[in-house]
A and B are shown apart, each in its own frame.
Chain A
């Protein structure tokens, strides 16, 4: 599986957009980009995933560059409840694979 690189930590002001970057320069054509987050003392929670088109759901937007070598998760109006560790994961479309979680980005939303 392709590796991902994320900044270890970021801050964001409450009410502002949080833009979390992820580099996956070795991604291959059959690999999706997944984002999960883990709020303290809870299990990780799925946020969104995409292959090459930008995606949006009720939680966030995912912007994938045209060459697919990087992506950005956008939380449009961050709240204190969005303080968490955010994981960017790359994994093949098919197959009996388990997701590999890296260290993620610790997002602190400031009041």
Chain B
């Protein structure tokens, strides 16, 4: 079975801390994505990557950065966590085919910033 694994299911951090959210996929997918999900706002795209060392901003990149040093791993970094970054973070991956944007999602990381 295909798998997208997020390193933590629940995470509690303090304001100002540097936070790393890790995502690993075992499907040799080229594309990887980070979304956040908040009640009433749905899923919003933060960053995505179409290849190693490549990244593109999504709809809400402010306050975040990403790293893609290896094909299977995509990290989301909160340089200085703030309370408004308390959210559910979802990682996804997909294969770069011409006719299919089939995303595979991880189970999510519920981040609380105090």
Name A's B-contacting residues (CB within 8 A).
32, 34, 36, 41-46, 49, 91, 93-94, 96-104
Within the complex, the shortest CB–CB distance from B57 to chain A, in Å, comes to: 10
8 nearest A-B pairs in the assembled complex, by CB-CB distance: A43-B105, A101-B43, A98-B48, A46-B102, A96-B50, A43-B90, A98-B45, A44-B105
**A-B CB contact pairs (8 Å), 22 listed:** A42-B108, A43-B90, A43-B92, A44-B43, A44-B90, A44-B92, A46-B102, A46-B103, A46-B104, A49-B100, A91-B101, A96-B50, A98-B33, A98-B45, A98-B48, A98-B58, A99-B101, A99-B103, A100-B45, A101-B35, A101-B43, A103-B42
Q: Which residues between 62 and 114 of chain B lie within 8 Å of chain A, taking CB atoms? A: 90, 92, 98-108
> DSSP majority for the A interface?
loop
Give Cα distance in the complex from A91 to B42, angstroms.
Answer: 17
Contact B101 A32 (CB under 8 A): yes
**Which residues of B sit under 8 angstroms from A97, Cβ to Cβ?**
101
**Which residues of A sit under 8 angstroms from B103, Cβ to Cβ?**
36, 44, 46, 99
Compute the total of residue contacts between A and B using a CB distance below 8 Å: 48
Name B's A-contacting residues (CB within 8 A).
4, 33, 35, 42-43, 45, 48, 50, 56, 58-59, 90, 92, 98-108
Contact A94 B50 (CB under 8 A): no
Task: Indicate whether A45 sits within 8 Å of B45 (C-beta atoms), given known contacts A94-B98, A96-B50, A98-B58.
Answer: no
B91 (CB) vs chain A CBs: closest residue: A43
Give Cα distance in the complex from A101 to B104, angstroms.
Answer: 14
- Pick from A34, A42, A46, A98: contact of B107, CB below 8 A: A42
Contact A102 B42 (CB under 8 A): yes
A104 (CB) vs chain B CBs: closest residue: B42
Give Cα distance in the complex from A104 to B37, angstroms.
Answer: 13
